[in-house]
Amino acid sequence: MTITWWKSKFARTPIMSTYLLAFVVGEYDFVETRSTDGILVRVYTPVGKAEQGKFALEVAAKTLPFYKDYFNVPYPLPKIDLIAIADFAAGAMENWGLVTYRETALLIDPKNSCSSSRQWVALVVGHELAHQWFGNLVTMEWWTHLWLNEGFASWIEYLCVDHCFPEYDIWTQFVSADYTRAQELDALDNSHPIEVCVGHPSEVDEIFDAISYSKGASVIRMLHDYIGDEDFRRGMNQYLTKFQEKNAATEDLWESLEQASGKPIAAVMSTWTKQMGFPLIYVESEQKEDSRTLTLSQKKFCASGPHHGEESPQWMVPISICTSESPASAKLRLLMDKPEMTVVLEGVTSDQWVKLNPGTVGFYRTQYSPSMLESLLPGIRDLSLQPVDRLGLQNDLFFMARAGIISTVEVLKVMEAFVNEPNYTVWSDLSCNLGILSTLLSHTQFHEEIQGFIRDVFSPIGQRLGWDPKPGEGHLDALLRGLVLGKLGKAGHKPTLEEARRRFKDHVEGKNTLSADLRSPVYVTVLKHGDSTTLDTMLKLHKQADMQEERNRIERVLGAICSTELIQKVLNFSLSEEVRPQDTVSVIGGVAGASKQGRKAAWTFVKENWEELHNRYQGGFLISRLIKLSVDGFASEKMAAEVKAFFEAHPAPSAERTVQQCCENIVLNAAWLKRDGDAMHQYLLLRKSPSSAV
C-alpha cells in the first residue's frame, strides 16, 4: 500500500485572537477572482456546485474595496476564502481569512434560489467581511463588549448591501428586520443592557441575541445619523488605526468618535448601552400664527403598560422633526437630554402635519396627541409619508396597543388604511403584526374573523400583483408577491388556494416547475389546507431536493399541516436522519407557529424529547431559539407557570434569560387578550367583510 504525503507551508499569520483561527480539510470545488484592490477571493463549495458560489464571490469582491474605502484601512491579508460547511449551527463565523458559512448563507443556484435567499447571502457576506476589520483587526477586550463586534457588523452589512444592490431598498428592510425586532425584546422587564458584565464563559451564549445584534445595530445607526457620515468615518479610521492588532473596549470607540465629531458621544451613548430599555416620547402640539410649539416628554416604554412606580430611567435622545412640507428631511434636530422639553418650529402652518423621527432612525417609540395622530394618518393612505415612516407609525401603534396604552381596535382601523400600500417592507411589517394578532386570537372562538380581516387587507394588493412577474419588475416585487400570496393562502382565500393547488400539481408532475420565489407561498398554502397525501408529497420533494435551500424551505412550512396525527408525523420527522441537526429547530418552530394544535403538540414534543434536544444543543444559541419558538405563542398564566416549572426542573443555563422572556410574553399575551379580546371580537363581527364568503 502506497501512502502519499502532502506538506503544506503557511505564511505567518498576523497577531490575532485565537478564536479567529480556522483550517478546513476536505474535498471542495471553488471559484475565484481578484477584487479591484488586488485581494484573491475564493468561494469553496461542495464538489460539483462551484456555479453556486458565483453570487457570493461577486458580493465579496465588491465588498472588500468598499470597506477599504469606508474605513480608509486596507484589508490586511493577501487572500480571503469563504467556505460552505455542511453541518454548521451558526449562520457563519468570521475566522480571519477563512470565513465559514452554512450552505444556505453562501450558495445561490441561479435557477432555484429565491430572491430572499440572494438577499440573505449578500447580508451575511457583508456582515462577516466587516468583521475582518471590526472584530479581527481590532478585537473586543472582553465579552462585555461583544455587542460592539456584532452590533457594528449588523449595521454595516446593510450599508454594504445598499452599496452593492441599491435596488433592494435595504435600509427600509432594516427597520422591519432589526430595529422593530430589538424594540419588541427590549420592552420586556427581562431584557438586558447592551453591555452585559460577563463573569464566566458559560454566560457568553446568552448575550448572542437581538439586543447585542439588532439593538446594537440600531443604536449605531442612530449614532451615525447624529454624528454625520464624514465625522463617523474619520472616527472609525482613527479607532481602527490606533487599536489594530490589539484589543479595545466600547469606551475606546466613543473616544475616537468624540474627537472626530466634537460631540458628547460617550455621555450620549452610555445612556443607550449601560441601561436596558428605550424611551417612549410623548408629543403634544400647540399652533400659533406661523409657528408650532411642541412639548416632548420621555418615559421608559414597557411592554406591560405605562411606566409607573420608581423614577423612569432617562436617555439622551437625538431627536429629528419633519413636516409635510418636506417629509424626507429634518426641519429641526436636537438632543433631548432631560425628561421634558419644549421646542418651537417656525414657519409651520396649521394645515401641515408634524412628525418626529423621519426615517425611523432614533431608537424610541412616539406617542402623539390625538389631534397630531389624526393629521398623520391620511399620510398612510395617500402615501405622502415615507414608506419607512408609514411602517414606523403602524409599528408604534401596534406595540402601544399590546402594552395597553391604546386600544387594539384603533390599530385594526389604521391597518385598513394600507389599502393602497405598494412597499414590500411596509407589507412585511404589517404581515408580521397581523401574524401576532392571529396567534393571539387562535386562543379564542373568533379566530376565523381575524382570517377574514387578513383576507380583506391583503386581497387588493394580491389582485394587483397577480401570480406572474410583469415586465420591469424587480427584487422587491418578487419578495412582495411571495409574502402576499402566502398570507392569502394561509388565511384561506379561495382563489389563491385553488391556483396554488393547480400550480403545485403541475410542479410535482414536472409539467411546469414553480419559480423559486413562489415555492414557499405555494407549499405553505397547499399544506395548510392539505391532507396526508399532500404531506407525503412534500416529504418526497424534500428527499429528492439537491439544494439545502430547498430542503430548508420545505422544512420550515411542514408544520402548516392541520391534522393532529400529521402534525405528530412532522415532529417525529424533525429528529430523523432526513433533517440536519442544525435544522431540527426550524421544523419544530414551524409546527409551533402554524396553529393552536401545532403549538400544543410542539411543546409536548419538546418536553418528551428534552434530554435528546438539550444534549444536542446545550451551550449554544439554538437551545434558546428552540425554547422561544416552541412556547412564545401561548396566552394564559397557567401556561406561563407550566413553562417556568418545567425549566426549573430541567435547567438550561445558557437559555435562562430566554425562559424568563418567554414566560413574560405569555403573561403579556394573556393580559392583552383579557383587556382587548371582546372589543376586537365586536369590531371584527360588525365590520363589513365581503371576502369572508369568497
- Residues with active-site annotation: 128
In what helix (H) or strand (E) does residue 43 lie, and over which residues does it extend? strand 40-45
User: How far is residue 53's CA from residue 32's CA, in Å, rounded to a whole number?
Assistant: 9
367 DSSP β-pair partners:
282
**Residue spans of alpha helices (H) in 139-262:** 146-164, 170-174, 180-186, 216-227, 229-243, 250-261
| Beta-strand pair 29-34/40-45 | antiparallel
Amino acid at 117: S
* 3 state SS of 21: coil
DSSP 589-618: HHHHHH-HHHHHHHHHHHHHTHHHHHHHHT
Q: What is the CB-side half-sphere exposure of residue 114 using CA atoms within 13 A?
A: 22
* Rg of the chain (C-alpha set): 25
336 DSSP β-pair partners:
317
User: How far is residue 112's CA from residue 124's CA, in Å, rounded to a whole number?
Assistant: 19
User: How far is residue 114's CA from residue 497's CA, in Å, rounded to a whole number?
Assistant: 21
DSSP 636-674: -HHHHHHHHHHHHHS--GGGHHHHHHHHHHHHHHHHHHH
Helix, strand, coil shares, percent, the chain, to 5: 60, 10, 30
Amino acid at 264: P
Contact 284, 370 (CB under 8 A): no
The C-alpha angle with vertex 246 and arms to 240 and 247, in degrees rounded to 5, equals 95
* 3 state SS of 579: coil
User: How far is residue 529's CA from residue 287's CA, in Å, rounded to a whole number?
Assistant: 55
The C-alpha angle with vertex 125 and arms to 123 and 127, in degrees rounded to 5, equals 65
Contact 175, 360 (CB under 8 A): yes
DSSP 339-379: SEEEEEEET--TTS-EEESTTS-SSSEEEE-HHHHHHHTHH
User: How far is residue 18's CA from residue 567's CA, in Å, rounded to a whole number?
Assistant: 44
Contact 321, 300 (CB under 8 A): no
For 516-551, b/e burial (b = at least 16 CB within 10 A) is bbbbbbbbbbbbbbbeeebbebbbebbeeeebbbbb
User: How far is residue 142's CA from residue 114's CA, in Å, rounded to a whole number?
Assistant: 39
User: How far is residue 377's CA from residue 414's CA, in Å, rounded to a whole number?
Assistant: 8
User: How far is residue 215's CA from residue 597's CA, in Å, rounded to a whole number?
Assistant: 33
Strand order in the sheet with 317-323: 332-336, 317-323, 354-356
Residues whose CB falls within 8 Å of the CB of residue 318, separated by 6 or more in sequence, listed in order:
222, 225, 226, 268, 333, 334, 335, 336, 362
